[in-house]
């Protein structure tokens, strides 16, 4: 029984590599070269928005390096690729040679129909958003922008051709504490999803059936082009990056997301209020 991980090269992805290698042992690793972790602000932005843009991504870098700090594991059987090569014959041949029992994906581009149909094992994706309400890209930004930071959760689901639309294996809620900013909320919530996938993989590799649930409704697919730098004004100029504190003070109501919690966590008191 073997596991292969397809992921990116940001601090959060390195944490997951280390986590899976130390707890399960990876038989293979595909690392996609991601965009700059602290990108350069577009030249078209005015001075104030450029400063907000720079601070936003600087805060992301600080939060990820703090919350996902770990010693990087050395995986010998790995390949490094560019985004445009994700669905290449090189990747397919690499995966077929290993013939894994399970593939985990997170932080990569979209696997196309040919790639998915050529893989002869289950593929699980760790999606940084609560599906189906927050499918697609940048889905840990939009809940806070919509003043619903408690919806900053994650979904572990089967991969199919439609983006983030496969049956749900497990969902994790937002990890919210007073004083959290946008990025600490995102990182802590994603870390919970990463940590939660370990017992799920162990349970599956032991030969047990993993329960799952079809997604209810089509929800919302957020695209990269939906996000613009001016969206940062609400987070930073209106709420001073304290949307979480406003929520905890009761300013935005107390609606909780409806999550699918896998049965293996049914005795975990942390998830009790989320069981439907």
Q: Please check whether residue 116 is in contact with residue 159, taking contact to mean a CB–CB distance below 8 angstroms.
A: yes
Task: Write out pLDDT tens, residues 15-37.
Answer: 999 999 999 999 999 999 999 99
Cα–Cα distance, 251 to 130 (Å, whole number): 22
Express each pLDDT in 203-249 by its tens digit: 999 999 999 999 988 889 999 999 999 999 999 999 999 999 999 99
State how many domains the chain has.
1
Domain limits for position 118:
3-274
pLDDT in tens, 63-81: 999 999 987 777 778 999 9
Tokens describing residue 185: 């909320």
Q: Give me the CATH number covering residue 101.
A: 3.40.50.12230
Distances (CA, A) of 20 to 4, 23, 28, 193, 198: 10, 5, 11, 13, 7
Residue 94 tokens read as 């690499």
Return the CA Rg of the chain: 19
Q: Residue 161's closest CA among 115, 211, 112?
A: 112
**Inter-residue contact 246 to 239 (CB < 8 Å):** yes
DSSP single-letter state for residue 102: E
- Look at residues 161, 195, 215, 205 and name the one whose alpha carbon lies nearest to residue 15: 195
Q: Report the C-alpha gap between 26 and 77 in whole angstroms.
A: 9
Neighbours of 64 (CB within 10 A): 23
- pLDDT single digits (tens) 161-197: 888 889 999 999 999 999 999 999 999 999 999 999 9
DSSP 264: G
Candidates 125, 196, 112, 206; CA nearest to 165 is 125
Number of H helices and number of E strands within the chain? 8, 9
Q: What is the pTM of this model?
A: 0.95
């Amino acid at each position: 029984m073997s596991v292969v991980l397809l992921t990116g090269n940001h601090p959060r992805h390195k944490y997951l590599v280390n986590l899976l290698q130390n707890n399960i042992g990876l038989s293979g690793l595909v690392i996609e070269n991601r965009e700059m972790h602290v990108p350069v602000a577009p030249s078209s932005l005015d001075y104030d928005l450029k400063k907000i843009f720079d601070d936003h991504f600087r805060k992301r870098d600080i939060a990820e390096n703090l919350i996902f700090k770990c010693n990087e594991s050395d995986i010998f059987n790995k390949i490094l690729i560019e985004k445009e090569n994700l669905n290449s014959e090189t990747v397919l041949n690499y995966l077929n040679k290993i013939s894994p029992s399970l593939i985990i994906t997170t932080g990569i581009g979209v696997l196309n129909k040919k790639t998915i149909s050529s893989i002869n094992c289950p593929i699980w994706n760790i999606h940084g958003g609560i599906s189906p309400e927050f499918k697609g890209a940048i889905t840990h930004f939009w809940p806070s922008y919509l003043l619903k930071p408690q919806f900053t959760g994650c979904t572990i689901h089967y991969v199919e051709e439609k983006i983030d639309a496969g049956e749900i294996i497990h969902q994790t809620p937002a990890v919210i504490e007073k004083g959290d900013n946008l990025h600490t909320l995102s990182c802590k919530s994603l870390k919970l999803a990463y940590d939660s996938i370990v017992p799920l993989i162990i349970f599956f590799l032991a030969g047990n059936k993993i329960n799952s649930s079809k997604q209810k409704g089509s929800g919302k697919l957020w695209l990269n082009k939906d996000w613009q730098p001016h969206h940062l004004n609400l987070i930073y100029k209106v709420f001073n990056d304290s949307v979480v504190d406003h929520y905890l003070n009761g300013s935005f109501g107390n609606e909780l997301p409806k999550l699918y919690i896998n049965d293996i966590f049914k005795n975990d008191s942390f998830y009790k209020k989320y069981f439907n």
